């Protein structure tokens, strides 16, 4: 279906023609109830949408668009196990990863929930053994460091959650994460470690991903140089579905934790891909995180679009990206613990919806897929916030903030946190309402400085608040954004669950690697620039 042919799409185009006239000061002045009406409470999250440049008429037409493209029906098809990932002929059932015991979720007529809980049980038993010290390495020493080796969704989700939930970590065990095939990443991870107390979790569904396998093989060499080849079985476990390759590597397949084709990589942190996280925070906290995910799943499935937080977030992003031509969105967590959250969302959003072909194979005729970027506050205030406030491009922003500090036991924690939260609120206020020349002139007499110190305002933002950053709240945040991305994809008519855009580079790299290593004179048949780069690299390496 081409969404641009709908009645509501045409209405939104008409609204966008007067986007510059949508003034947040005026919207607030004209509507005293705007904040109450546009603030939603979902589980532990409070989502304030009032500072968005959407009038009631715009919002009504966005909701009408969601209905015209069948958003609710598409979400129901997803959670019911229909093969909505049509280019790979797969169901999309990450929501089943957090379904409670007793719920039925069918994939090809089979209830997948028992298998999910069987795997969670195996993960929990293993995590408990590592955490208690019952699982020991080749020398009999308990594990002190877990190194997760993966890339993409096998890295971004676990490392983000590990950092976010630092307050819930095991007192003895620490995790490190290796993803980049640049050898310095692995070297830095193992440099100060004792192989006898180190456990590697190799996360690769197919166990053939080049970057992950290269890092795994180097990790294996590092370990066996000290402990011998027989030690691999006690210091390596796998998250994979390829038992043959796992066994060939030397990992006991009893220590292989699997997941399913219907779990996309960027939606997999709550599957076995989260094994390192479960070891760090424990099975109970991991279960709390799944409960948080589920709360948002249920909200998305059962709540009318006009009150549906992830759906409205997605619709507002469509408004900005497609109709108002705003190319990016900043994600600004006012929480150091969430410092990896913007990077996690980059994959979730940009890999899902960074596409120019609709699900029916036809090219889109409108803009899709915003650029997602950001850093924690208050650091960003001293770097890129200048552009947010006074730059020539309007960039919508998401502020995320919590009522309680992550380290309440720290002396002075309240003072630190009060200042952090004050800055968060001040930034969203300044972006929305700015400072007029007349207001500046009340204290500044130099006309030149008046112009420089004027803030245009009218810069939109969302503020998401929760009482504290807990495992449940983290699950709620991730699911909120998952379903926002889903909404955007449905409205744009995209398949949000494939990622063909990552394939070409892999194919070309496989063709180039042999040319870089060839002991003779390689037959270079690439473009002129790539041939020259290969030759220059070979010369640098003396080949």
**pLDDT digits 0-9 by tens, 364-382:** 999 999 999 999 999 999 9
Residue 427 to residue 457: CA distance in whole angstroms: 11
Q: What is the mean pLDDT of residues 509-527?
A: 94
Angle at 272 between CA 269 and CA 276, to 5 degrees: 75
Question: Is residue 428 scored above 90 in pLDDT?
Answer: yes
Q: Please compute, for residue 195, the number of CA atoms within 13 A of its CA located in the half-sphere on the CB side.
A: 18
Q: What is the structure's pLDDT at 411?
A: 86
Interhelix angle 153-164/471-492, rounded to 10 degrees, is 140
Let me know: does 239 contact 273? Beta carbons within 8 Å: yes
Structure tokens at 392: 């020539």
Bond into 154 cis (ω within 30): no
Residue 224 to residue 216: CA distance in whole angstroms: 12
Burial class (CB in 10 A: 0-12, 13-18, 19+), 30: exposed
Question: Is residue 28 scored above 90 in pLDDT?
Answer: yes
pLDDT tens profile 86-138: 999 999 999 999 999 999 999 999 999 999 999 999 999 999 999 999 999 99
pLDDT band at 51 (very low <50, low <70, confident <90, very high): very high
Let me know: does 311 contact 300? Beta carbons within 8 Å: yes
Catalytic positions, please? 351, 382, 506
Count of CB atoms situated within 10 Å of the CB of 196: 20
CATH superfamily of 106-284: Glucose-6-phosphate isomerase like protein; domain 1 (3.40.50.10490)
Domain boundaries, the chain: 3-68+303-492, 106-284, 501-540
Structure tokens at 338: 């969430």
Let me know: does 513 contact 342? Beta carbons within 8 Å: no
Pairing of strands 461-466, 397-402: parallel
pLDDT tens profile 455-472: 999 999 999 999 999 999
Q: Which residues of 75-102 are buried (b: 16+ CB within 10 A; e: fewer)?
A: beebbebbebbeeeebbbbbbbbbbeee
Structure tokens at 494: 């995209």
Structure tokens at 178: 């290796």
Question: Is residue 445 scored above 90 in pLDDT?
Answer: no
pLDDT tens profile 257-277: 999 999 999 999 999 999 999
Q: What is the structure's pLDDT at 267?
A: 97
Q: Which CATH architecture has domain 3-68+303-492?
A: 3-Layer(aba) Sandwich (3.40)
Residue 458 to residue 256: CA distance in whole angstroms: 52
Q: What is the structure's pLDDT at 206?
A: 87
Question: Is residue 186 scored above 90 in pLDDT?
Answer: yes
106-284 and 3-68+303-492 share a CATH fold: yes
Let me know: does 46 contact 464? Beta carbons within 8 Å: yes
Report if pTM > 0.75: yes
Nearest Cα to 500, choosing from 351, 362, 366? 351
Q: What is the structure's pLDDT at 408?
A: 79
């Amino acid at each position: 279906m081409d969404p641009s042919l709908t009645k509501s799409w045409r209405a939104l185009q008409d609204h966008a023609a007067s986007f510059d006239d949508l003034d947040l000061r005026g919207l607030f002045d004209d509507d005293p109830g705007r904040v109450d009406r546009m603030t939603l409470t979902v589980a532990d999250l409070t989502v304030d949408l009032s500072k968005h440049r959407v009038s009631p008429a715009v919002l009504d037409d966005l909701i009408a668009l969601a209905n015209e493209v069948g958003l609710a029906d598409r979400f129901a098809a997803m959670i019911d196990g229909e093969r909505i990932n049509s280019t790979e002929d797969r169901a999309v059932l990450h929501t089943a990863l957090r379904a409670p015991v007793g719920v039925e979720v069918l994939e090809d007529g089979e209830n997948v929930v028992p298998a999910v809980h069987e795997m969670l049980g195996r993960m929990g038993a293993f995590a408990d053994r590592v955490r208690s010290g019952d699982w020991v390495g080749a020398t009999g020493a308990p594990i002190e460091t877990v190194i997760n080796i993966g890339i993409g969704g096998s890295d971004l989700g676990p490392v983000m959650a590990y950092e976010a939930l630092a307050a819930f970590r095991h007192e003895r065990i620490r995790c490190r994460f290796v993803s980049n095939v640049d050898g310095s990443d692995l070297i830095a991870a193992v440099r100060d470690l004792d192989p006898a107390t180190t456990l590697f979790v190799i996360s690769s569904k197919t166990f053939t991903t080049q970057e992950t396998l290269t890092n795994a093989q180097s990790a294996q060499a590092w370990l066996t140089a000290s402990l011998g080849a027989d030690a691999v079985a006690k210091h390596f476990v796998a998250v994979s579905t390829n038992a043959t390759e796992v066994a060939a590597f030397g990992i006991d397949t009893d220590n292989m934790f699997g997941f399913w084709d219907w779990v996309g990589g960027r939606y997999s942190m709550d599957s076995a891909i989260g094994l390192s996280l479960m070891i760090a925070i424990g099975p109970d906290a991991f279960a709390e995180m799944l409960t948080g995910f589920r709360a948002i799943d249920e909200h998305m499935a059962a709540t009318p679009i006009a009150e549906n937080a992830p759906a409205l977030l997605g619709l507002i992003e469509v408004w900005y990206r497609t109709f108002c031509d705003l190319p990016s969105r900043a994600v600004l967590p006012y929480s150091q613990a969430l410092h990896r959250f913007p990077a996690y969302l980059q994959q979730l959003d940009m890999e899902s919806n960074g596409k120019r072909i609709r699900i029916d194979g036809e090219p889109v005729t409108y803009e899709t897929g915003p650029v997602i970027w950001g850093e924690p506050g208050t650091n960003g205030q001293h770097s890129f916030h200048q552009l947010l406030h006074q730059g020539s491009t309007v960039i919508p922003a998401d502020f995320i903030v919590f009522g309680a500090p992550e380290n309440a036991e720290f002396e002075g924690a309240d003072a630190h946190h009060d200042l952090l939260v004050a800055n968060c609120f001040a930034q969203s206020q300044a972006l929305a309402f700015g400072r007029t020349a007349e207001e500046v002139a009340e204290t500044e007499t130099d006309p030149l400085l008046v112009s420089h110190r004027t803030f245009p305002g009218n810069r939109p933002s969302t503020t998401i608040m929760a009482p504290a950053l807990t495992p449940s709240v983290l699950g709620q945040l991730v699911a909120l954004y998952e379903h926002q991305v889903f909404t955007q994809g449905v409205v744009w008519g995209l398949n949000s669950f494939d990622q063909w855009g990552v394939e070409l580079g892999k194919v070309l790299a496989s063709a180039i690697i042999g040319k870089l290593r060839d002991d003779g004179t390689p037959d270079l048949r690439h473009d002129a620039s790539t041939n020259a780069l290969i030759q220059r690299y070979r010369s640098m390496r003396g080949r």
